Chain A
Amino acid sequence: MTEDDEADFCALAAARAPALRRTAYALCGDWHLAEDLVQQALVKAYLSWPPRERSAAAGYLRQILLRTCTDSFRRPWWRREQSTDAVPDVRGVSDDYPHDQGPLLDALRRVPPRQRACIVLRHLEDLSVEDTAALLRCSTGTVKSQTARGLDALRRELGSTPDLTPTPGGLR
């Protein structure tokens, strides 16, 4: 990798990392794990950097992150062993993230992992059914059924939640 390639990688990683971490958090519900997953994804991206198409680099980073996340759901009893190569544990700037998750994420956390992944990819990442199927390595029919079941489960979980109005100014 040339110095220019490495500089490109660092610039893109720094710019995209916060958004990647948000997606990872929506999927896993834990900021520290989300940060670990982003770090792992960045190392994986570095290993095959530069991508063939520079214009698709941001999407490529996101794809690696989503694969890293969804792979980590597959084997939760040893999921951190799927992490990447000799990266030291890196903590965020604060060890005390607020624990009061919003009602939607709290409910989403109780939705089964595959259904949760479908919901996040389809509705937060705004991916198509086809792209979601490719990322989750399943058929488009499975994505549709898992998304529908996930939404059913989410609605049940939210049944008693009184107010889901977005916080004013919360959407930046």
Chain B
Amino acid sequence: MTERDLTGRLPALLLDDVRRTEQPWQPDLDSVLAAGRRARRRRTAGRAAGALTAVAAATGAVLAGPGLLPQGQGSGTALTPAARTVGSAPAAPGAPAPSGAPAGAGTPAAVPGSQPEPLLDAVERAVREDVAPATYTVVGRDRLDGGARVDGNLADGEGAPARLFVVVTQDRPGTLLERPCEDPEFARDSCRTTDLPDGRWLSIAAGSDGGYEQIVATLSAPGGGDGVHVEVDNIAAPDWTDRARPAPGGVDQAPVVRPDTPLDAAQLEQLVLAVDAAVR
């Protein structure tokens, strides 16, 4: 078949193929409206709560004063030596100012639009404790399909704060690939899967993704319904203010802010296990 022949007939052929197996269907508009109304209410309430939290955080910072808050809390993940000194490290040249309140281990972030939510809070807490003394500034978080997504920037003192994105999946069979290294898009330049003693799998891959560096780790269980997925990049976390199209849809346009990712593969593996332990 010539190219002209194929492209000329393609629209009709495609439509014909689509309709071959099509069955009558209408969207569940009641569900759409209910979900939309809930999201609108939460967005409205969240904006008010976010403003109050930001005021409280600013007030707390003034009251506490420099040097009065404990530094370097947490489990002491094997970060790079430079990362361990993040508490006193000057900001890297060109580093963007954090968009939320700087938060040490266990400190809730002032995320615009966020509300207290046990699963999300647990994820954030686990991340902060694991990466301390590096700091994690959350820029967006939500509960989708019963899971949790937390997105933010990790400042390790070695360069500009860069993106760390966490997804927790619970009771959603088929959501995660059991062995994602078999998927070329996940595997990229290098990928390895470790069989865990409890029958689950920990897969980790690294490589360039659309012009930026990324390391991803996925802890998956048989059935692919439960697990933790974490990405660390050398880009800044994308803007979550457009709630209709949250990250990672905007990742492709996020700027590269440093040459490498703030965590390496071993550190990311440890982080995935820490988040998993916190949410199970």
A133 within 8 A of B: no
Give the chain A neighbours of B186 by CB distance below 8 A.
Answer: 76-77
Cβ of B53 under 8 Å from chain A: no
Q: Indicate if the CB atoms of B25 and A21 lie closer than 8 Å.
A: yes
A10-B33, A155-B1 known; A81 vs B28 contact (CB < 8 Å): no
| Contact count A vs B, C-beta below 8 Å | 200
Contacts of A119 in B (CB 8 A): 10
- Contacts A77-B180, A172-B19 given; does A13 touch B29 at CB 8 Å: yes
Q: Decide: A71 and B249 in contact? CB cutoff 8 A.
A: yes
Q: Which interface class (under 10, 10 to 19, 20 to 34, 35 or more) fits A? A: 35 or more
Residues of B within 8 A of A83 (CB): 144-145
- Binding site of A, secondary structure by majority: helix, strand, loop or mixed? helix
Q: A97 — which chain B residues lie within 8 A by C-beta?
A: 21, 23
> Which single member of B3, B28, B177 contacts A155 (CB below 8 Å)?
B3
Encode contact with B along A128-167: 1 for CB under 8 Å, 0 otherwise.
Answer: 0000000001000000000000010011001100001011
8 Å CB contacts to B: which residues of A21-46? 21-22, 25-26, 31, 35, 38-39, 42-46
Q: What total of chain B residues lie within 8 Å of the partner, measured CB to CB?
A: 62
Check A39 against B31 for contact (C-beta < 8 Å).
yes
Distance A105 CA – B15 CA, assembled complex (angstroms): 10
- Asked whether, in the complex, the Cβ of A100 is within 8 Å of the Cβ of B21, the reply is yes
B3 & A166 in contact (Cβ 8 Å cutoff): no
Indicate if B86 sits at the interface (CB-CB under 8 A).
Answer: no
Looking at B36-44, B56-64, B97-105, the stretch in contact with chain A turns out to be: B36-44
Chain B proximity of A47: nearest CB distance (Å): 5
B21 touches A124 (CB 8 A): no
Segment at the A interface, from B87-95, B109-117, B167-175: B167-175
> Whole-angstrom distance from the CB of B166 to the nearest CB of chain A?
11
Question: Which residues of chain B have a CB within 8 Å of any CB of chain A?
Answer: 1, 3, 6-7, 9-29, 31-33, 35-36, 38-40, 43, 142-147, 149, 167, 169, 172, 174-177, 180, 183, 185-186, 218, 229, 243-245, 248-249, 251-253
A22-B19, A81-B167, A98-B20 given; name 19 further pairs at CB < 8 Å: A13-B29, A18-B26, A21-B25, A35-B25, A43-B35, A44-B244, A46-B32, A47-B243, A47-B244, A76-B186, A82-B144, A85-B35, A86-B144, A104-B10, A104-B13, A104-B14, A124-B10, A155-B3, A159-B1
Q: List 29 A-B contacts (CB under 8 A).
A: A13-B29, A17-B26, A22-B18, A31-B21, A35-B27, A39-B32, A43-B32, A46-B33, A75-B248, A77-B185, A81-B147, A83-B145, A84-B35, A85-B39, A85-B144, A86-B143, A87-B35, A90-B28, A93-B24, A97-B21, A100-B20, A101-B21, A102-B13, A102-B17, A119-B10, A151-B7, A158-B1, A167-B16, A170-B19
Query: 8 shortest A-B CB distances, which residue pairs?
Result: A102-B17, A46-B36, A170-B16, A77-B180, A105-B17, A166-B16, A123-B10, A77-B177
